[in-house]
Amino acid sequence: MTKISEYVNCRVLVTGAGGFIGSHLCESLVACGATIRALVRYNSRGDWGYLEELPAGVKDAIEVIQGDVRDAHLMREIVRGCDYVFHLAALIGIPYSYVAPESYVATNVRGTLNLLEAAREAGVSRVIHTSTSEVYGTSRYIPIDENHPLQGQSPYSATKIAADKLAESFHLSFGLPVVIVRPFNTYGPRQSARAVIPTIATQLLAGCETLFLGSLDTVRDLTYVSDTVRGFLLAGQAQQAVGQVINLGNGKGISVGDLAQKIMQILGREIPIAQDPARIRPEMSEVGRLVASAVRARNVLGWQPLVGLSEGLQSVIEYIRSHISSYKAARYAV
């Protein structure tokens, strides 16, 4: 297996560092001995997102920069001098992309272009670009490998396809060493209520008498965040990964309805489930099944998931229980 200790004393930029996966990635990079520059989206509160929750010693080891990937000048400034760039900055909420598609183009497409141009100019050793399983749309076959056709079933997924293709083009056109990592539904502590597992757990822990969800039949491949992060780190080191798209997933699917039942069993609560019309996506936009083939990740990176679903769910439940005031059970998080 590729050693991730090779990040020792390397300068690494992480965009989207204040997000769910980004904060866990920064924490792991500190443990690897990297010198980290972390981009978080500017806000007048000076809030660093989920980086605020890292232990003091870890936060102190990170250079945090507030800004925006839409600013090409800033991208050139912060990429300069970096060996590796992990690009996670993106607008990710699918329902909000129906409301504000232009903002998704600006951040996910134009922002990625700015980052790639800056990385090319700076001559970085590698760019690890974050994709999403949503780019595949509803599966035409299971498991989904990296050769599966792409289909933009939401404005969000369409902008991620565009960003992926820009990253691919910079490798093919300019020789920029790019790896495209395509996670399948990562979950874990610090994930927002926008995602399905925190949505279920929050309502149950808050004592709600009815569990409100969207589609119960959609099937997802759930990967615990520490496994996803390890995949990112390995993608930054494996020489044969350059120029490739690499899925990160368990290869096991579970429906939202069955997932809700499993979380209820863990918590020892059984309440009725009701479909909330506000949570139902347009029929043609809903992605029905996403189950990964991770053969390439295993062969190229030496990666395989280590955390089982029951263990991972228990960790999420414990986190939400200790942060319940931060979650609004009665409100649908778009």
167: CB partners within 8 A, 6+ apart: 112, 116, 127, 129, 178, 180
Strand runs labelled E in the chain: 11-15, 35-41, 62-67, 84-87, 126-130, 178-183, 186-187, 211-213, 219-220, 223-224, 245-248, 254-255, 273-275
CA distance 94 to 67: 23
Sign of the CA dihedral with 184 first, then 178, 32, and 22 last: negative
CA atoms within 13 A on the CB side of 227: 28
CA–CA separation, 83 and 227 (whole Å): 23
CB 32 within 8 A of CB 10: no
**Rounded-to-integer distance, Cα 23 and Cα 233, Å:** 14
Nearest to 67 by CA among 114, 9, 133: 114
For the question of residue 327 being annotated catalytic, the response is no
List C-alpha distances in Å: 330 to 211, 260, 275.
10, 17, 14
Place of tokens 């141009």: 117
Q: Which residues are 247's β-sheet partners?
A: 182
Among 180, 28, 194, 15, CA closest to 96:
194
Strand segments, DSSP code E, in 167-285 are: 178-183, 186-187, 211-213, 219-220, 223-224, 245-248, 254-255, 273-275
Question: What is the DSSP-derived secondary structure letter of residue 282?
Answer: P
- Neighbouring CB atoms inside 10 A of 62's CB total 22
Indicate which residue of 156, 187, 224, 327 is catalytic: 156
Q: Catalytic site residues?
A: 156
